[in-house]
Amino acid sequence: MAAGYQYFIVSRVTTVSNMPVSAEHIRTLHKYEKDILAALERSMKRFAWVPLEQLQLLTNLSESEVNYRLSRLIEWGMVRFNPVPYDGYALVFGGYDALALATLTKKGRISALGPMLGEGKESVVYEALGLGPVAIKFHRVGGRSFSSARLNREYMPEEGHCPWLLASKCSAMREYEALTRLHPDVSVPLPIDQNRHTVVMGLICGPSLNRCRLENPVQVLDEILENTKKAYRLGIIHSDLSEFNIMMDDGKCVIIDWPQWISPDHENAEAILGRDINNILTYFKRKYNLDYPYEDALQCVTG
């Protein structure tokens, strides 16, 4: 067994802190518990809090069986209970994690979760095992980020009582679409699979651009602009490009974090592309005292 991994299939479990959900719980989920999680998922557009009677109807289980299974799911942090104005239940990220991971495990995409690789305001990324080492990104559009995301992103859902779960699913789908359109022409992680709010992709082992000292910053800047150009020609503008979402893998840059992308025909495309380019030029000027005229960089990308 590889050290530091929680396995979903084998019997032993290596405990890792800060996991999105316990591998042991996922591995031991009863069919009835999976049915209840799936029923909650199907109902979350209709109900803010799903009544017990609705869960009985969708699962064809007795009241006592549903109550018993719900008590386990609540204890494991997969479901939330609310007694007002009626006894109702809601799917939370722990349950959404469980559904996604169970599906990905069944498909053979992953078999274990490893340590956390990074965390942002809208996602958390873990190392995982599939056919080899991979990364799995859990989109977490909610809390402090949801209001701004709804204002700034056209793909945000307008309906439903669990907008943070639906928005996270939309965010993951959006990122996976970008990766599949860009790879291999643009230096991005290899897209492997997407389920609900998760994206499985190739593992990038190097540090982010802001955490390394480049031996040849001119070459790297040229490489970033060239990849931005290729993405632009494929109809995609990153929309959040900075030194924090460019990884250096064996001396080459890999651009990550694509859920906010827009197309070149977007009404704000010119301003957003300009911001992306300016972010990168400002970083190289600040850290390496490298002057690269903005107009030349813009021409390089759009010309």
Active-site amino acid positions: 240
CA distance 259 to 243: 17
CA atoms within 13 A on the CB side of 149: 26
With beta carbons less than 8 A apart as the criterion, state whether 253 and 269 touch.
Answer: no
With beta carbons less than 8 A apart as the criterion, state whether 79 and 33 touch.
Answer: no
CA distance 38 to 57: 13
CA distance 119 to 127: 12
Candidates 236, 49, 160, 26; CA nearest to 169 is 160
For tokens 């593992």, the residue is 203
CA distance 52 to 70: 10
Which distant-in-sequence residues (6+ apart) come within 8 Å of 300 by Cβ? 225, 226, 229
- Collapsing DSSP states into helix, strand and coil, what is residue 129? strand
- Collapsing DSSP states into helix, strand and coil, what is residue 53? helix
